Amino acid sequence: MKKSEYIGKPAIAVYAGSAYTGLEILAIEYGIDDYVVVRDWVNLYTKEGKKKVEEIHRYKIYYGNKHTYFNYRNRCRYYLDDFMGV
């Protein structure tokens, strides 16, 4: 996966965590192991002020008994059923 391929790409599904945070699914990669490509926005506080930085990550998809999910970076489990298609 090259992150430069996904910069500026439109999302296929979104998840609103709150009024200020959320996740966007950019692609689902199928193969021996399936992966989801996720974009989120991180606030960085510098001397010049607050900046929003785009971060793109790839997470493995797990198939459970009832739901399909992936583990986000803080080990929080996000179910693909909870994302809204765009």
Q: What are the tens digits of pLDDT across the range 60-79?
A: 999 988 899 999 887 889 99
**Other residues' Cβ atoms within 10 Å of the Cβ of residue 24:** 21
- Number of structural domains, the chain? 1
Q: What are the tens digits of pLDDT across the range 4-25?
A: 888 888 999 999 887 777 899 9
Q: Which residues of 48-61 are buried (b: 16+ CB within 10 A; e: fewer)?
A: eeeeeeeebbeeeb
Amino acid in position 68: T
- Output the pTM of the full model: 0.84
Whole-angstrom distance, CA of residue 23 vs CA of residue 26: 10
Domain span including residue 49: 3-85
